[in-house]
Chain A
Amino acid sequence: MTTTYDSIEPGYRIDGPQFPVSRESIRQFCDASLDYNPLHLDDNYMRGDFGKTNFGGIIMHGMNNFGLITRMLTDWAYPLGATHRRLETRWIKPVKPGDVIQPAGTVRSKTKSTKARWVVIDVVVRNQHGEPVATGEAQIEFPPQQTAAGTQGSAGKETQ
């Protein structure tokens, strides 16, 4: 069945891509994001304590999760003519080289505003043990409902 705004119900699932994390992928993210924080580069530094936390080695950028969630959302939205409008995330657990992470989304609700239709999606990134490493929520905008005369929002303009 073709997915449309009307066919999407709360509970609808979106599966994102698996992403194997390695020292190389973390280094590549440093070069791509210009974020060269030693958290992601320097094992000696990461053997030290951060307050009550000890990571024991380098960790992946939290924003790598953010980038993967975005990829899942846009790959889903573009073919539907929809637009990714918002993403809020929290990091739950550090991700380390050797982990394999995968984002997923579950539609929580749908809402119509004056000029658009919205889908609110709960997002989560899990590691290979099924543990959440990041959670959040996203909003995708769908254009106004199409009618026989065209898009409701623009139909008036055409007759002026």
Chain B
Amino acid sequence: MAQEAFETDFWKDAGRRRVWDDIVPGEPRETIPYVLTLEAIQKYCRAVGENHPLYFDEAYARATPYGGLIAPPSIHILLMFACTPADDWMRSPGTVNAGQSWSYNIPARPGDTITLQARALDKFVKKDRLFVVHDNVFFNQHGKVICSGRGWTIRPM
């Protein structure tokens, strides 16, 4: 499946993105399905030095309880940007990540079509900074939860 080219200039759509004032806690965010390729998994692995054969060696992976190649749990780092459109506020330049918590259910696998259900859950002011708490759940094409998590970001002022 052809996927739209990813816009790497985060300034380009900056004017269309919601600022802190516009974000409505509880309101679903627009998301887009994403086909996770082996190439994308391995590119992510190389960037953090992941070299486990479960991510690279099909014959090895098939002989394990996983039954085939998988993605590392932290693949949601990629999925967060892959499953959100260019005008999503997570791409606002100056967005600072303050912390994250994630729970893992089943692994994502090469060829999976990943969908995301996401929303801002809360927003607040602390130490003169504008925070948003966002929650996110990633599913595979069978409707099974891959992982779920919350992030705390400081919004640009």
A residues in contact (CB < 8 Å) with B:
17, 19, 25, 28-39, 45, 50-52, 61-64, 66-68, 70-71, 74-75, 78, 81, 83-91, 136
CA–CA, A46 to B8, complex, Å?
Answer: 18
Q: Is B103 touching A86 in the complex (CB atoms < 8 A)?
A: yes
On whether A71 and B93 interact (CB within 8 A), knowing A34-B81, A37-B10, A87-B102, the answer reads no
**A contact residues around B72 at 8 Å (CB):** 67, 70-71, 74
Whether a CB of chain A sits under 8 angstroms from the CB of B50 is yes
* Bound Cα distance A31, B65 (Å): 31
Q: How many A-B residue pairs have CB under 8 A?
A: 118
Cβ–Cβ contact B97 & A62, under 8 A: yes
B50 touches A71 (CB 8 A): yes
* A74 with B73, Cβ < 8 A, contacts A32-B78, A33-B78 known: yes
Q: How far is the CB of A125 from chain B (nearest CB, A)?
A: 12
| Chain A residues whose C-beta falls within 8 Å of the C-beta of B49 in the assembled complex | 17, 19, 68, 71
Q: Give a binary string over B78-90; 1 marks a CB under 8 Å from any A CB, 0 the rest.
A: 1001100000000
Q: B73 contacts A70, CB within 8 Å?
A: yes
B2 CB-CB contact with A under 8 Å: no
Residues of A with C-beta under 8 A to B142 = none
Report Cα–Cα, A62/B77, bound state, in Å: 10
Q: Contact check, A70 vs B74: say whether CB atoms are below 8 A apart.
A: yes
Please classify the interface of chain B as helix (H, G, I), strand (E, B), loop, or mixed, using the class held by over half of its residues.
Answer: mixed
| Nearest Cβ on chain A to B35's Cβ, whole angstroms | 14
A25 to B47, CA, bound (A): 7
- Beta-carbon contact of B101 and A86 below 8 Å: yes
Q: Please, which residues of chain B bring their CB within 8 A of the CB of A62? A: 97, 100
B19 close to chain A: CB less than 8 A: no
B29-64 at interface with A (beta carbon < 8 Å): 43-44, 46-50, 52, 54
Whether A32 and B104, one on each chain, are in contact in the complex, defined by CB atoms closer than 8 angstroms, is no
Residues of chain B with a CB closer than 8 A to A67's CB? 44, 47-48, 50, 72, 74, 77
Instruction: Provide the bound-state CA to CA distance between A44 and B124, in Å.
Output: 29
Residue B94 at the A interface, CB < 8 A? yes
Return chain B residues, CB-CB under 8 Å to A75. Answer: 52
How far apart are B93's CB and chain A's nearest CB, in angstroms?
5
Q: How far is the CA of A78 from the CA of B57 in the complex (A)?
A: 15
- A116–B99 alpha-carbon span in the complex (Å): 28
| Contact A90 B44, beta carbon cutoff 8 Å | no
Which residues of chain A are within 8 angstroms of B99 by Cβ–Cβ distance? 88-91, 136
Closest beta carbon of chain B to A72's beta carbon, Å: 10
**Roughly how many angstroms separate A83 CA and B101 CA in the complex, as a whole number?**
16
CB <8 Å contact, B97 and A84: no
Q: List 26 A-B contacts (CB under 8 A).
A: A19-B49, A25-B47, A33-B47, A33-B78, A33-B81, A34-B6, A36-B9, A36-B10, A37-B10, A37-B95, A38-B11, A38-B93, A39-B95, A51-B129, A61-B97, A63-B97, A66-B74, A67-B72, A67-B74, A68-B48, A70-B48, A70-B72, A74-B52, A86-B104, A87-B73, A88-B99
